[in-house]
Structure 1
Amino acid sequence: MYAFNFAPVFAAMDQLLVGAWMTVKLSAAAMAIGLVVSVVCALAKTSGPRPLRWLVDAYVEAIRNTPFLVQIFFLYFGLPTIGVRLDPNSAALLALVVNFGAYGTEIIRAGIESIHRGQIEAGTALGLSRLQVFRYVVMKPALRTVYPALTSQFIYLMLTSSVVSVISATDLAAAGNDLQSKTFASFEVYLVVTGIYLALAVGFSAIFAAIERAVFTYPLSR
């Protein structure tokens, strides 16, 4: 019978926590930058010139219909052939941003298109500038509509980030792989790693729920 031994895993818990922190940093940075990419691309799809809409469509379709692992390999192993070399963590961040941006574009586009045209015309009639109309009449209600989908996408992104360990990015999965190679305690190591990912997902879900209650539960006119 197999004798479970968690002692070496707990002894190296600091290594796993450093990896978990890197996972959080990579995911948070990817979401922040990817959200900007998503908003810009969504605006291009909804109100940009036709060539720009085609370009964004091509980007979204290419990312949504190819494996994330292949995207990472392309950025890390493919780009050096044209002189662009990225370290593992930078390549991981870029891959996460590109991936989140594509999915986020469609989420935010749906939110923008959910705003009735009459509301935009009413904002213009009240003397609001185009920027004010976009900020208060379009973007804020749209974000409230798509907020649950965006936060779910972030959780999915954070969990998917475990794939970046294949290019030696120093995330939680990579820390677990390294620890397993030293201790050969596969079951114990990956059980603890699974528990950490679960704790991160549940923790961020709670944080996002609190933000939703604080930011999006009052009237938009406030």
Structure 2
Amino acid sequence: MTYQFDFTALLPYWRDFAEGVWLTLQLSAWSTLFGFIGGTLCAIARADGAPWLRRLVGGYVEVIRNTPLLVQIFLIYFGIAVLGIHLSANLAAVVALVVNITAYTCEIMRAGIESVHKAQIEAADCLGLSRWQTYRHVILRPAVERVYPALTSQYVLLMLASSITSQISAEELTAVTGRIQSDTFRSFETYIVTALLYLLLSFVVRGAFWAFGMLIFPRKRRLGTSL
């Protein structure tokens, strides 16, 4: 083997790597936030909505979960443009990721909602709580706590899947990597650095979710559990 590694060629591009990492985190954060809100509302609709609404949300979930994310990104980025609505690459990336992760969050949250014992819901009804108050005070908090590890794993996968948005020129880490390797011709070194950065991002995101879980779920602090 005569190949000579030369990572020094990448040093002038550290700022580009940093910008790619920052945009990856931004895409992931916004997609996680809106995906969780949308997924929770969809889960409530599937669990407690009108029959037509349950069928509509169920159809949406099946379509999204059984088509590739890349195809969804292309449909949103290029399809909306055909209708005369032009989105920037970054905005289209967020929209596509939200549409995708909402479907997965819906099924995870639906499992959490269905895990809440019926007696607790009946007790809330006896206390005269409205349906919204029952969901807010009785159902959602324990539901989220029970599926929190699954949500965390799904959102870490979302962060990694954001690399696909490089196909529509969103300047996240993978897109930056492609540009750097074409400039330096050090493909092996460039992608090694990128793999290590994604590994670091995964640990950072998991750590952030662990800290957030410890903050909002006091029982986890008492038991000393992580995710």
> 2:98 aligns to what?
97
> 2:10 aligns to what?
9
Normalised to the residue count of structure 2, the TM-score between the two structures is 0.93
Q: Offset of 1:123 from its aligned partner?
A: 1.8
Q: Offset of 1:85 from its aligned partner?
A: 1.8
More deviation, 83-92/135-144: 83-92
Q: Offset of 1:217 from its aligned partner?
A: 4.0
More deviation, 152-161/73-82: 73-82
Q: Offset of 1:211 from its aligned partner?
A: 2.2
Percent of aligned pairs with the same residue?
A: 47
Counterparts of 1:38 and 1:141, CA distance in 2: 16
Counterparts of 2:209 and 2:87, CA distance in 1: 32
> 1:173 aligns to what?
174
Q: Determine helix, strand or coil for the equivalent of 2:146.
A: helix
The yes-or-no answer on 1:191 pairing with 2:192 is: yes
Counterparts of 2:21 and 2:92, CA distance in 1: 18
Counterparts of 2:11 and 2:59, CA distance in 1: 47
Q: Offset of 1:83 from its aligned partner?
A: 1.9
Q: Determine helix, strand or coil for the equivalent of 1:2.
A: coil
> 2:146 aligns to what?
145
Q: Determine helix, strand or coil for the equivalent of 1:218.
A: helix
> 1:113 aligns to what?
114
> 2:48 aligns to what?
47
Counterparts of 2:218 and 2:146, CA distance in 1: 11
5 Å-filtered alignment, 1:25-64, equals: 25-64=26-65
Counterparts of 1:47 and 1:175, CA distance in 2: 44
Question: Match of 2:116, as an amino acid?
Answer: I
Normalised to the residue count of structure 1, the TM-score between the two structures is 0.95
Counterparts of 1:138 and 1:218, CA distance in 2: 16
Consecutive unaligned residues in structure 1, runs of 5 or more: none
More deviation, 205-214/38-47: 205-214
Q: Determine helix, strand or coil for the equivalent of 2:219.
A: coil
Q: Offset of 1:64 from its aligned partner?
A: 0.3
Question: Match of 1:107, as an amino acid?
Answer: I
- CA deviation vs aligned residue, 1:99-146 (integer Å, no higher than 9, x gap): 110000000011011111110111222343433221121000000011
Consecutive unaligned residues in structure 2, runs of 5 or more: 221-227
Q: Determine helix, strand or coil for the equivalent of 1:12.
A: helix
> 1:201 aligns to what?
202
Q: Determine helix, strand or coil for the equivalent of 1:144.
A: helix
Counterparts of 1:215 and 1:21, CA distance in 2: 26
Give the number of aligned pairs.
Answer: 219
> 1:122 aligns to what?
123
Counterparts of 1:73 and 1:132, CA distance in 2: 40
> 2:89 aligns to what?
88
> 1:76 aligns to what?
77
CA RMSD, 1 decimal: 1.3
Counterparts of 2:107 and 2:24, CA distance in 1: 25
Q: Offset of 1:79 from its aligned partner?
A: 1.9
